[in-house]
């Protein structure tokens, strides 16, 4: 039985912040997901635009936990975070550099989770994994998360980041994942960002290895997200290429039951 819902609020990289949505269809918003209406991963500049696009003004009504992968502007927007937490108490998991950006922490319970280990977050369990994605000015890595739902379904959120580190892989190998979300920032391109983001070939190889090593549940799915506007000139080709490798290209408003 599938009791959980993953909703993609945004699937784009930082270059969609002021992106021209007419020339680059489909238009993407900055990457963010909502799990069961309760867990928001990343609170970037477009979380309210996403709710408007989806047509649900109550989208964040049941929000309990906010996890921030890192403080890059496409993942954390202090004004939106402030707006989201003015009338409700939430737990916040983020690094200390992100926390310093918060304007009004009155409704925020900071939950610092250990890395590489499972730790409780309300009814969920979360494993925080340092990602291969440098956040300059503080020398900290972005975080990836494994979210384990109350009914023991497992979701891996791997944005942002290039090739997985061996330490991260060693932890992933101990899990049986139902949903895997992989960075596909570079699309079919190569450029200097290849050391902090995946292209499709890298995501393909990681997806194959996840399947080969039996880390994915038999009806589990792998999804690519965080597409750069400037490196995915044809969103259709990106989608078709990923499909060949049995990887779904995330889209705004896409819902996945797991
Ligand atoms: Zn990003
Ligand atoms: Zn980033």
Q: What is the pLDDT of residues 222-244, one digit of tens each?
A: 999 999 988 987 888 999 999 99
Total domains in the chain come to 1
Residue 171 tokens, joined: 């932890």
Ligand nearest to the CA of 183: 1
CA of 78 to the centre of ligand 2 (A): 16
Rounded Cα distance between 88 and 105, Å, is 11
pLDDT tens-place string over residues 139-184: 579 999 999 999 999 999 999 999 999 999 999 999 999 999 999 9
**Residues 136, 139, 144: CA angle, nearest 5 degrees:** 85
CA dihedral sign, ordered 80, 84, 86, 92: negative
CA of 1 to the centre of ligand 2 (A): 35
- 20 — pLDDT class (breaks 50, 70, 90): low
Q: Is 67 within 8 Å of 44 (Cβ atoms)?
A: no
CA of 76 to the centre of ligand 1 (A): 10
Instruction: Give the global pTM.
Output: 0.96
CA of 3 to the centre of ligand 2 (A): 31
CATH number at residue 59: 3.60.15.10
CA of 2 to the centre of ligand 2 (A): 31
Ligand nearest to the CA of 15: 1
Range of the domain at 104: 5-257
CA of 14 to the centre of ligand 2 (A): 8
Please give the average per-residue pLDDT across 40-51, as a whole number: 96
Mean of the per-residue pLDDT values of the chain: 94
Ligand nearest to the CA of 141: 2
The per-residue pLDDT for 233 is 74
Q: Is pLDDT of 111 > 90?
A: yes
CA of 147 to the centre of ligand 1 (A): 19
Residue 16 tokens, joined: 């969609």
The percent of the chain in helix, strand and coil, each rounded to the nearest 5, is 25, 30, 45
Please give the average per-residue pLDDT across 209-217, as a whole number: 97
In the block, which residue shows the tokens 């250990």? 114
CA of 134 to the centre of ligand 2 (A): 8
Rounded Cα distance between 203 and 247, Å, is 9
The per-residue pLDDT for 21 is 52
Q: Is 20 within 8 Å of 11 (Cβ atoms)?
A: no
Rounded Cα distance between 181 and 227, Å, is 12
Residue 238 tokens, joined: 């990106």
Alpha carbons within 13 angstroms on the beta-carbon side of residue 174 total 10
Q: Is 79 within 8 Å of 97 (Cβ atoms)?
A: no
The per-residue pLDDT for 190 is 87
CA of 99 to the centre of ligand 1 (A): 18
């Amino acid at each position: 039985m599938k009791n959980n819902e993953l909703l993609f609020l945004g699937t784009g990289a930082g270059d969609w912040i002021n992106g021209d949505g007419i020339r680059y269809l489909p238009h993407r918003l900055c990457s963010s997901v909502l799990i069961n209406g309760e867990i928001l991963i990343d609170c970037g500049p477009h979380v309210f635009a996403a709710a408007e696009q989806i047509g649900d003004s109550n989208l964040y009504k049941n929000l309990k936990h906010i996890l921030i992968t890192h403080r890059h502007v496409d993942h954390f927007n202090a004004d939106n975070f402030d707006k989201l937490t003015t009338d409700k108490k939430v737990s916040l998991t983020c690094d200390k550099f992100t926390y310093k950006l918060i304007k009004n922490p009155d409704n925020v319970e900071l939950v610092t989770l250990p890395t590489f280990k499972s730790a409780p977050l309300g009814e969920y369990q979360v494993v925080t994994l340092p990602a291969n994605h440098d956040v300059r000015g503080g020398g900290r890595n972005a975080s990836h998360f494994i979210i384990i739902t109350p009914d023991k379904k497992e979701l891996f959120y791997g944005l942002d980041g290039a090739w997985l580190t061996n330490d991260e892989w060693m932890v992933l190998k101990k899990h049986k994942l139902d949903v895997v979300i992989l960075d596909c920032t570079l699309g079919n391109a190569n450029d200097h960002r290849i050391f902090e983001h995946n292209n499709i070939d890298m995501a393909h190889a990681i997806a194959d290895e996840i399947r080969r090593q039996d880390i994915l549940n038999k009806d589990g799915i792998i999804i690519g997200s965080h597409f750069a506007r400037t490196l995915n000139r044809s969103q259709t080709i990106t989608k078709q290429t990923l499909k060949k490798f049995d990887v779904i290209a995330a889209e705004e408003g896409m819902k996945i039951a797991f």
